[in-house]
Amino acid sequence: MLFSSISFLYYFLPVVLILYFLSPWKMKNIVLLVASLFFYFCGEPAYSVLMVTSIISGYLHGIWIDRARGSRYAKIPLVSSVIFSIGLLMFFKYTDFFITNINWIFKTNIPLAHILLPIGISFYTFQILSYTIDVYRGDARVQKSIIKFAAYVSLFPQLIAGPIVRYTTVEEELDQRTHSFADVAYGINRFIIGLAKKVMIANTLGELVEIFRDTGEKSVLFYWISAFAFMLQVYFDFSAYSDMAIGLGRIFGFHFLENFNYPFISKTLSEFWRRWHMSLGTWFRDYVYVPMGGNRVSTVKWIRNILVVWFLTGFWHGAQWNFIIWGLYFAVFLAFEKLFIKKLLERLPAFVSHLYMLFFITISFVIFNADGMSEVIENLKGMFGLLDVPLSNMITSYYIGSYSVVLIIAAIGATPLVSGLIKKAAASKKCERILNALEPVVHVTLLLFVTGYLIDGSFNPFLYFRF
């Protein structure tokens, strides 16, 4: 079930909201748990058992870790938790990747398993691991209630595409949280904004990317336009899901952390990754990078740490070599930035350093979007005029004209320009009253437009479902 679907918006969500707010406090987590399990079952009926198994494993490992605390065997339950969780993730996500590479290296002919990837397994696995590791470290109290723990892992607003919500972020709110009209209003508005970003911008940009992929009349300019369109599509698709997750969480009394902070205004690649998919970046920082020594080690070991973290980041995104190359690409450039050009970038005019960041981020998304390394090489050749294609052609001009409005809106929307103007206007009491009056009108209008798109449109899942 998709957030951007009629069945979710006008059937599932209203029923859940009614049941949740009519239920007494003791029943609210149960309502959320049942709703979340049903939500996942609608999309992944066969793999629902897998998610429940992961939940039970995380719950039991947490209790085991707590009971073993202080003993000489205290690490055993933690290691068991990591092996079990990562083992499931590796089996369901990477089996065919390993078989393919074994066949290639050893010239064998082992048949592929063709295991379907369970939706959201990368996200809920990391959430369970954050819980068991934090309980081991003493950063979180063990959760004795299976209902509360299961509700945390399966919470439908963020279950299948993040953000990765740490247990410590919602630990207290699982036990006691408040509800207010202000939070509900904020949550609804945030959800509608995210929904509009997904349906009206991300999906439209996705159309342009597919047109480029399917056309036989490519050009150098079209290669670049497609690269920019995909980069913006991923941003609006994933940030839209995060907006909707944060909005839904707020409605139910949970305060999820932000996942994006206008990454395209960055001046360095390091800054970009402090602003992009922040829940994943901080997860790898706190559970991989810092335990390995972080930057408090020698330069050689620091480079090792960067390579390991970014190898894992790339591999987390997908079981193909282009994702691994994508991760290592950032490892190399981030290390190069810090060791050699950090001071130079700080002295350069802002627009120059911004163009530097934008160029290399665009290249990274070309690597990210490709179906294997051969396609990466072909697309990069096309972008730099190394294929037998013209600089531009009539097809390119036609589609640039057709999609120019959404490209401009996306480019502006990826910056804090609009929100900054609204904040400045709200500083005036008169303007603030006007904005307060217009806000519900704008959001209702957006919802009506989105509904029209969904009725007439086709199925278009979130990109991060594949991860």
The catalytic residue positions are: 317
Q: What distance in Å separates the CA atoms of residue 287 and residue 168, rounded to the nearest whole number? A: 14
Cβ neighbours, 10 Å, residue 347 = 8
Q: How many helices (H) and strands (E) does the chain have?
A: 21, 0
| Contacts of residue 197, Cβ cutoff 8 Å, sequence gap at least 6 | 236, 239, 240, 243, 413
Residue 75 is encoded by which pair of tokens? 């690490």
DSSP 120: T
**Hunting for tokens 């620091």 — which residue is that?**
302
Residue 159 is encoded by which pair of tokens? 């279950």
Q: What DSSP string describes 182-236?
A: HHHHHHHHHHHHHHHIIIIIIHHHHHHHHHHHH-S---HHHHHHHHHHHHHHHHH
Helical spans, DSSP H, in 370-467? 373-383, 394-413, 417-426, 429-456
DSSP 113: -
Q: What distance in Å separates the CA atoms of residue 134 and residue 291, rounded to the nearest whole number? A: 13
Residue 387 is encoded by which pair of tokens? 């294929």
Calculate ∠ Cα 201-203-209, nearest 5°: 105
Residue 64 is encoded by which pair of tokens? 């085991």
Helix H or strand E segment including 287: none
Residues in the chain: 467
Under a CB-based contact definition with an 8 Å cutoff, are residues 381 and 387 in contact? Answer: yes
